[in-house]
Amino acid sequence: MDTSITREEGHAHVGAIRVLRHRLGRLPTVEEVAEVLGSKVEITNHRLRTLQSLGIISLVENPFEVHVCVEDYLALEKLPVEANEDVLADAVQDFQKRQSEKTDEMMRIFEESDEKGEQKQKHDQMADELRRFKKKKPGKAPWEASDPGE
């Protein structure tokens, strides 16, 4: 079973849910669970989603918030004792690869826009020069003499 949550973390999350359920008299929200655990909401949410996918807890969503409920606490014993570092390393590596690709794409977009900006500036400059250009009267041909007596 490839999971990024250990048995100890799973027990901590389920314990926090149960304590909050008792204290509040209602199902706790993800934010409240994160506060009790002293963890960031994003990390707690990710771990709770993992526990939900394993059937240990369920998330009850309404338009305003997400509440957490314990479903099958015995399934916690199926979690690994230690985190599978290969899964974590692969996830981090995939994330870094995606970020690198996004950065490369953004650099390409900005370089293209810089080139287009330079071209536009050059075209504008040429258009200004063309507007300022005054036609010179053509000179007379050598056979057209200004003095008829010559």
Note the pLDDT tens digit of each residue in 15-38. Answer: 999 999 999 999 999 999 999 999
Cβ atoms 72, 64 nearer than 8 A: no
* Domain membership of residue 18 as a residue range: 7-78
63 shares a domain with 45 = yes
90 shares a domain with 52 = no
pLDDT bin (cut points 50, 70, 90) of residue 109 is confident
Q: Kindly state the average pLDDT of the residues 83-104.
A: 80
Chain segment 36-84, per-residue pLDDT in tens? 999 999 999 999 999 999 999 999 998 999 999 999 888 888 888 876 5
One-letter amino acid of 18: R
Total domains in the fold of the chain: 2
Between 98 and 145, where is the model more confident?
A: 98
pLDDT of residue 146: 61
pTM of the model: 0.54
90 shares a domain with 41 = no
Task: Find the radius of gyration of the CA atoms of the chain.
Answer: 36
The two three-digit tokens of residue 4, written as one number:
């990024």
Cβ atoms 33, 44 nearer than 8 A: yes
Three-state secondary structure along 17-61?
HHHHHHHHCCCCEHHHHHHHHCCCHHHHHHHHHHHHHCCCEEEEE
105 shares a domain with 49 = no
47 shares a domain with 72 = yes
Chain segment 120-134, per-residue pLDDT in tens? 888 888 888 888 776
For residue 148, tell me if it sits in a domain: no
Rounded to whole angstroms, the Cα distance separating 75 from 105 reads 43
pLDDT beyond 50 at 108 = yes
For residue 108, tell me if it sits in a domain: yes
70 shares a domain with 38 = yes
